[in-house]
Amino acid sequence: MEELRGYGFQQRRSGAVDATLRAGYELNPDVVKNTEKHNYFTSYPVSAKKYAHRTDPDNPVLVRTIGIKNNFPIELDPDSKGPDGEIFPYNCRTTSSIPSKFVVGSKHSPPKNDAKVSKKEMGEAGYNVSLEQAGRLLREVQSDSDDDF
């Protein structure tokens, strides 16, 4: 997890797909191909935990991000569909790599560049806060990723 917080994550990440294939499940080849080109995000905690468990059942990890919607081109994931066949509205993806400043640090860590993103996001929402306040508020309102499992 510290590596993700320190360096961000690159465009090609397919751990969940690799784990699914190792488990003996077949996936649509188009879905597998898409995972090689996208990073995925969800605001739905149950889905996030399922993805994390599929990627590494023994050591699942979730990271929080900030500023993705306003700084990267995202789209709904067309490969993520509900029982009715409609695209699930909580799962998104981007072809962009995500720099570390968009990965929220641990609740107990000192704010770093993620505080700069938080300050900018708050300013765009009409709230003028200092960098220190933005970092403190960011840490106060999040549940810590380290405690998710």
pLDDT for 89-110, tens place per residue? 888 888 898 898 998 888 888 8
Look up residue 75 and give its amino acid: E
Q: State residue 3's pLDDT score.
A: 60
Give the strand order in the sheet containing 75-76.
Answer: 39-42, 91-94, 75-76
CA-to-CA dists, residue 1 to 119, 133, 136, angstroms: 24, 25, 21
